[in-house]
Amino acid sequence: LNVDLVIRVVPTVRDTDGLALSSRNVRLSPEDRVRAAAIPRSLQAGLAASRAGKDPAAAARAALGDIPTDYVTVAELAGHRTLAIAARLSGTRLIDNIRLDEVSVERAEGLEEAAHGK
């Protein structure tokens, strides 16, 4: 297929606790909805690790605790290092990511504020 396509990267819309808004969130049990807030916190931990010269994926995995994951990885996307997570709670697959470069500083600060309830 030769489809004329433009991909636009936009900030993720998040709930007050930092969880990425998704229609899948309604499938989460009340307990797992609370646990899911660890996902944006783990992204923040990964970003902090990256800025400190440490392994962002390892930091994110540690911050997720016992939440089952399909992957926690750093990938190069459109020339940007990106920390990506796919986790499962209540049988629902939740995905999220954050760029690890300087462009994501404002976005990361917004994510950090949401993760801390500001």
pLDDT at 79: 85
Domain CATH code at residue 93: 3.30.1300.10
CA distance 22 to 79: 26
Would 7 be classed as within a structural domain? no
Burial class (CB in 10 A: 0-12, 13-18, 19+), 48: middle
Number of domains in the chain: 1
- Check residue 114 and give its pLDDT: 57
User: What pLDDT tens digit does each residue of the chain (118 aa) get?
Assistant: 899 998 887 888 999 999 999 999 999 999 999 999 999 999 999 999 999 999 999 999 999 999 999 999 999 988 889 999 999 999 999 999 999 986 545 555 556 665 555 5
> What pLDDT, on a 0 to 100 scale, did the predictor assign at position 109?
58
Provide the residue range defining the domain that includes 55: 23-115
Does a structural domain hold residue 8? no
Residue among 101, 99, 114, 115 nearest 42 (CA): 115
